[in-house]
Amino acid sequence: MELNSTQEAALTAAVNQDEEIHALTHDGVEKHRGTYNECWMHLLEMQSASTHHAFKYEGWAITQVTEKK
C-alpha cells in the first residue's frame, strides 16, 4: 500500500508520540494503516456488516505493525 504525504506525516507523528501502528487488512491485502482506532473507523466506513461478522466471516483483520517505544 502506498501512502500519500498526509498519511505518511500522520504515521510519523503517531510513531513519534509512541502510538502503536496497526494495519487493516482484507483477505491479506492492506487497506489502511494508522492507530487501532483509525483502522476500526476505516473498517466501519468500508463495509456494511457488523464488525464481528467482518472479522469472523469476511476476511477482515487489524494487526499491530509497530510497538510503543
For 50-62, what is each residue's pLDDT tens digit?
Answer: 999 999 999 999 9
Is residue 69 one of the residues assigned to a domain? no
pTM passes above 0.75? no
The upper half-sphere exposure of residue 50, i.e. CA atoms within 13 Å in the direction of its Cβ, equals: 3
Task: Express each pLDDT in 1-11 by its tens digit.
Answer: 666 777 777 76
Is residue 20 one of the residues assigned to a domain? yes
Is residue 41 one of the residues assigned to a domain? yes
pLDDT beyond 80 at 68: no
Is residue 34 one of the residues assigned to a domain? yes
Is residue 44 one of the residues assigned to a domain? yes
Look up the domain containing 9 and give its range: 5-64
Task: Express each pLDDT in 2-48 by its tens digit.
Answer: 667 777 777 666 665 557 899 999 999 999 999 888 999 999 999 98
Number of domain units in the chain: 1
Q: What is the pLDDT of residue 39?
A: 93
Task: Report the distance separating Cα 36 and Cα 55, nearest Å.
Answer: 14
